[in-house]
């Protein structure tokens, strides 16, 4: 039996690294700067720079400064030209480092891909061997023990255990079978037992592994709506400052202090939002990278961004909020039976019950009553009766005595007598509380009742409290009756629940939420979940689910852990917060550059401007060069933050805004004053300055 465990983000990252060997994705390594430097140089081409309007202006300014520095070489002109080029280079470096981490992960994924020879069916029992790259959608292929699945698809015949460790990092094999919600197989995984027939569902080069490789390399990363909007804002600010700087020269000429092209270029570069312009692409790539660390494949950056704006979260009860199977939580003796006798009878009746519920009864009797977990030699001599859907009972015939456990009606029929009022009352009470009662009988006498409960996973209430603090409403979806659903919802701490849910009910709920302007996220794995996954703004399909579900959603969780939806929301919010924080910092630090450059430009003709030189910078040329140097170095200093992301804590929008303004707004004002002043102390030592 496979049990999904809830891990903290730190445990998840450590688990992922230990199992997949994909190292360094989450932690910035300074050596990445060195290894990414050649890529940064290649990105200096004008064609690449034209994709980023802000940095293209800096690139053009660098070219102009270089031309004038060559025509009139001096320490200030050459130094300014060099540092303008460094500004462009460092912006490229931020993007190259983010892409380099993706390429390292892509290389590890490529190792999982193997050139396979597929056994394609051309008739009922006729096979032909063809290269895996020649398979087309709808082809049927046979895969047996020891063979690699040649492509993504659904099992249409047979059942087998499959090793998916190459894709998911999980060493435990999984069951894949036809006709259920766990029929999907991924190309590159290995069949460990039995024989299955797989219907190919993707074209060559479009498998989940191929798409994941392209995604982490950034080859298919499209700008998200918020990123496009921010790019337009930054471009608008750049145009405004460009017009302001161009208009400055006629005024300077009228005042008798014409400025050189190099000085005007330095002013423009320092005033436009170069910091966020340089880091914007890296922030987006890093957001995708954090998803890949969690073994989540997103079909677009839009889905990641939408996750950060989600206000309603729809969660399946079973396997997400509760463990996948009901567990024995209590033994209730009746009719004078002692607890020890009931525990002994309950254990005996469950030894032949191979269901998860039956095993949980044996575990309860072992842990709480000290009984052995395995049958003794004497017990093995009895006649075991396995649980079946027809009898709805299990038990053992031992030493002339029969012991049975099962549904109340089935045990009543077996004993041939009506249960007492005490038993009926206990059964009704357990049922009304959302549990499942199992009656235990020995020798035609009822000994007691076992309570089976949907056990809420540890820590779920705390996680829902965190989501509530984010302003996210949680809704539990279940096929249980309203009474059971209410009990589980109250225990788990969700905001609302939908009982006896059908596919059309899920769709109606999603549409109702979206009509109010809210973004909705949900998880699913079955074909019946596909419409709702497609309708949701963030639809996370389980990798163990059907191809229909995976194609309908905009994310696929390769670990098939439904609770990961909560982490996906946190990653989306971290992406948005990081972008907002660095935008605030970038715009705020322009203030210090005003105080550095403008007094330096006009203090000669307007001495009163010298009062604005609050940093006591050495000279006009050192002030301008120091501002340009700081403008370049701050990009490098912020690369680790852009890649790692601003730490996210669940809080309201107001508190997040307050924190943003205090830390990155105020910090963006103070840091340049200190940085430019320190750089000026060094620049003034250069001869000629």
Which residues make beta-bridge pairs with 298?
555
pLDDT at residue 495, as a whole number: 92
Mean pLDDT of the chain, nearest integer? 81
pLDDT surpassing 90 at residue 332: yes
Distance CA 366, CA 360 (A): 10
The DSSP code for 664 is I
pLDDT at residue 450, as a whole number: 93
Condensed to tens digits (0 to 9), the pLDDT of residues 592-645 reads 777 777 777 666 566 766 676 677 777 888 888 998 999 999 999 998 898 888
pLDDT at residue 419, as a whole number: 67
Q: Is 392 within any annotated ligand binding site?
A: yes
Domains of the chain in sequence order: 30-101+228-291+570-684 (no CATH), 117-150+152-201 (2.70.150.10), 310-321+457-558 (3.40.50.1000), 326-455 (3.40.1110.10)
User: Of 380, 396, 322, whose CA–CA distance to 356 is shortest?
Assistant: 322
Q: Is 480 within any annotated ligand binding site?
A: no
Q: Is 388 within any annotated ligand binding site?
A: yes
Q: Is 389 within any annotated ligand binding site?
A: yes
In the chain, DSSP finds a helix count (H) and a strand count (E) of 26, 22
pLDDT at residue 188, as a whole number: 77
Label residue 212 by pLDDT band (50, 70, 90). low
pLDDT surpassing 50 at residue 444: yes
Q: Is 353 within any annotated ligand binding site?
A: yes
- pTM for the predicted model, two decimal places: 0.66
Distance CA 592, CA 671 (A): 9
Most confident of 20-29, 105-114, 235-244: 235-244
* Long-range contacts from 647-652, C-beta under 8 angstroms, 24+ separation: 647/574, 648/570, 648/573, 648/574, 648/577, 650/466, 650/467, 650/469, 650/470, 651/469, 651/470, 652/469, 652/471
Q: Is 468 within any annotated ligand binding site?
A: no
Nearby residues of 163 by Cβ (< 8 Å), 6 or more positions away: 173, 189, 190, 191, 192
**Residues carrying an active site annotation:** 316
Q: Is 391 within any annotated ligand binding site?
A: yes
pLDDT surpassing 70 at residue 59: yes
- Tell me whether strands 473-477 and 496-498 are parallel, antiparallel or unpaired: parallel
Q: Is 72 within any annotated ligand binding site?
A: no
Q: Is 357 within any annotated ligand binding site?
A: yes
Least confident of 384-393, 583-592, 601-610: 601-610
Rounded to an integer, the average pLDDT of 101-116 is 63
pLDDT surpassing 80 at residue 327: yes
The DSSP code for 453 is E
Write out the two tokens for 602: 């006009």
The residue length of the chain stands at 689
Label residue 101 by pLDDT band (50, 70, 90). low
């Amino acid at each position: 039996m496979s049990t999904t465990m809830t891990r903290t983000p730190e445990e998840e990252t450590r688990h992922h690294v230990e199992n997949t060997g994909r190292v360094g994705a989450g932690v910035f390594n300074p050596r990445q700067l060195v290894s990414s430097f050649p890529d940064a140089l290649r990105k200096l081409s004008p064609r690449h720079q034209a994709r980023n309007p802000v940095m293209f202006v800096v690139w053009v300014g660098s070219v102009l400064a270089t031309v004038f520095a060559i025509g009139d070489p001096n320490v200030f002109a050459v130094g300014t030209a060099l540092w303008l080029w460094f500004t462009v280079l460092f912006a490229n470096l931020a993007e190259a480092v983010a892409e380099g981490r993706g390429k390292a992960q892509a290389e590890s994924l490529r190792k999982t891909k193997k050139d396979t020879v597929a056994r394609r069916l051309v008739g009922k029992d006729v096979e032909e061997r063809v290269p895996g790259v020649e398979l087309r959608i709808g082809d049927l292929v046979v895969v047996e023990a020891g063979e690699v699945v040649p492509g993504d698809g659904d099992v249409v015949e047979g059942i087998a255990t499959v090793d998916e460790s190459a894709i998911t990092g999980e060493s435990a094999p999984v069951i894949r079978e036809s006709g259920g919600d766990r029929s999907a197989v991924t190309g590159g995984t290995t069949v460990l037992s039995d024989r299955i027939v797989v219907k190919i569902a993707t074209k060559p080069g479009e498998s989940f592994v191929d798409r994941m490789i392209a995604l982490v390399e950034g080859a298919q990363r499209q700008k998200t709506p918020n990123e496009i909007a921010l790019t337009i804002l930054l471009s608008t600010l750049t145009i405004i400052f460009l017009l302001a700087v161009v208009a400055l020269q006629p005024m300077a000429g009228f005042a008798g202090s014409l400025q050189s092209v190099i000085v005007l270029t330095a002013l423009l570069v320092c005033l436009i939002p170069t910091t966020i312009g340089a880091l914007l692409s890296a922030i987006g790539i890093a957001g995708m990278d954090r998803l890949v660390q969690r073994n989540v494949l997103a079909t677009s950056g839009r889905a990641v961004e939408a996750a950060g704006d989600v206000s309603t979260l729809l969660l399946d009860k079973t396997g997400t909020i509760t463990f996948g199977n009901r567990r024995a939580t209590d033994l209730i003796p009746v009719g004078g039976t002692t607890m020890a006798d009931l525990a002994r009878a309950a254990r005996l009746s469950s030894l032949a019950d191979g269901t998860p519920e039956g095993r949980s009864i044996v575990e309860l009797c072992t842990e709480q009553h000290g009984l052995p977990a395995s049958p003794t030699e004497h017990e093995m001599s009895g006649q075991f009766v396995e649980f079946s859907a027809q009898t709805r009972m299990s038990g053992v015939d031992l030493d002339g005595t029969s012991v049975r456990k099962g549904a109340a009606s089935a045990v009543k029929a077996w004993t041939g007598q009506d249960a007492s009022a005490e038993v009926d009352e206990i059964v009704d009470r357990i049922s009304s509380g959302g549990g499942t009662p199992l009656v235990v009988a020995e020798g035609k006498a009822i000994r007691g009742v076992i309570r089976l409960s949907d056990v809420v996973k540890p820590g779920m209430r705390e996680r829902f409290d965190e989501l509530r603090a984010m302003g996210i409403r949680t809704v539990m979806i279940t096929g249980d009756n309203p009474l059971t659903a209410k009990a589980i919802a109250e225990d788990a701490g969700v905001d609302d629940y939908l009982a006896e849910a059908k596919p059309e009910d899920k769709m109606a709920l999603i549409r109702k939420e979206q009509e109010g302007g809210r973004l909705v996220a949900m998880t699913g794995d079955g074909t019946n979940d596909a419409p709702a996954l497609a309708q949701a703004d963030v639809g996370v399909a389980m990798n163990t689910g059907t191809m229909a579900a995976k194609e309908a959603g905009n994310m696929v969780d390769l670990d098939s852990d439904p609770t990961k939806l909560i982490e996906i929301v946190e990653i989306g919010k971290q992406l948005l917060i990081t972008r907002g924080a660095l935008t605030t910092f970038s715009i705020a630090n322009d203030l210090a550059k005003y105080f550095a450059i403008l007094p330096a430009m006009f203090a000669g003709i307007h001495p009163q401007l010298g009062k604005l030189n609050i940093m006591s910078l050495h000279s006009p040329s050192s002030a301008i060069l120091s501002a340009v140097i700081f403008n370049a170095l701050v990009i490098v200093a912020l690369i680790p933050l852009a890649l790692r992301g601003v730490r996210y804590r669940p809080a309201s929008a107001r508190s997040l805004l307050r924190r943003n303004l205090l830390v990155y707004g105020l910090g963006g004002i103070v840091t340049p004053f200190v940085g430019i002043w320190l750089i000026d102390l060094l620049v003034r030592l250069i001869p000629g300055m």
